Amino acid sequence: SSIHAEGRLARAAIERARASVAALAGVAPGAVVFTSGGSEAIAAAIRGTCERAPGRRRRILVSRIEHSAVLEGARLMARLGWAVEEVGCGPDGRVAAEAFAERMNEDVALAALQWANNETGVIQPVEEVSRLCREAGAVFLVDAVQAAGKLPLAPRPFEPDLLAVSGHKIGGPQGTGALAVRDGLALAPLIPGGAQERRRRGGTEAVAAIAGFGEAAEAVLRDLEREASRLARLRQRLEDGLRGMFAGVRIHGEAAPRLPNTVNFSIPDVEGETLVVALDLLGFALSTGSACASGAVRPSHVLSAMGLTEADSRRAVRVSLGWSTDDEDVERLLEAVGPAVERARAAARSAVH
């Protein structure tokens, strides 16, 4: 923010990163507001929209499978007097645009739908819901945190009013994110008190982290198509291998279009947490649900919305493939799953007896 040479160099680094993140998000550089992560970007979008919404618009629509940042942000507004409706999904994990259409009217201030689900990888009908919002005059928020770097976000045949992305999801530093704000949209700042980010987010920018975010955005854009194809091939090999090893394996969301890097599966008679622990001891980092739910004992809200029972949800395991994952990693995981499952089933039998 300073006019001396060092300040100008820092400003130049931020603006280079802004241009790179804008290219990733498919927006003009001036639309990008840097934040501390995807969760802050979403909080800024929800709170900022509601504070500036016309008085007649007091409803918020969100899908039931959104990231907790969206769901909890909407529920906070409900406690402040807003009417919040959660839209369900089908057994394939995909929200129907018609479900949004049934609830859309001139009372809706904000509608939120993720581009792709963070637990199943299922891609959502953001284009159709964007059209519904535009026709009703509602602000449309797209959580693209999971999709960025896995799918091309631009060019696209629609334009969301607000779009959130995160640095660490594409290999950048943790603690970085961005909210893309449509030109002309009035948004109250979540963090007031400074002229930074064109008065849209107060506080001194984290220059080094933002620069790293920009470098990561450039890197994923350079190789997006080839990397997506490679990850899809690895995902297919993993899923085929699991089906060949275990009867009754379920790949959650496989009937819908999905991200190329996400596999959410369950094996009969094997608790997901037990399997994750067993594989952790062998050097594999898997999870039983979304990262923000780690340590929680309740079942995944996403799988529950898809109609899975609590017992079925507890069997689910998520594998995320990334730029550092190769064929050998997938083969080693398949080799390790068999013994890990046997140990997990043996432990379950011992606990029963």
Residue 352 structure tokens:
């029963």
State the DSSP H helix or E strand holding residue 8, giving kind and residue range, or none if neither: helix 5-25
> Which class for 73: exposed (0-12), middle (13-18), buried (19 or more C-beta within 10 A)?
buried
Specify whether 133 is catalytic: no
Q: How far apart are CA 72 and CA 218, in angstroms?
A: 32
Q: What is the pLDDT of residue 312?
A: 93
Alpha-carbon span 292 to 38, nearest angstrom: 12
- Per-run averaged pLDDT (10 residues), the chain, 353 residues: 90 97 97 97 98 94 98 97 97 97 97 97 98 97 98 94 97 97 94 89 94 98 96 98 96 97 96 92 86 65 96 95 96 95 82 67
Angle formed by the axes of helices 327-352 and 224-245, nearest 10°: 40
- pLDDT in the model for residue 347: 76
Peptide bond into 152 cis (omega under 30): no
pTM of the model: 0.94
Say how far apart CA 352 and CA 279 lie, in whole Å. 22
- Please report the beta strands in 67-130, taking only residues with DSSP state E, as ranges in sequence order: 83-87, 108-114
Q: Are 173 and 36 in contact (CB under 8 A)?
A: no
Task: Quote the pLDDT of residue 91.
Answer: 97
Q: Is 122 helix (H, G, I), strand (E, B) or coil?
A: strand
Burial of 305 (0-12, 13-18, 19+ CB in 10 A): buried
What pLDDT was estimated at residue 290?
56
Alpha carbon 191 to its chain centroid, in Å, reads 23
Residue of 50, 89, 133, 292 with catalytic role:
292
One DSSP character per residue, 12-32 reads HHHHHHHHHHHHHHTS-GGGE
Which residue type, as a one-letter code, is found at position 17? Answer: A
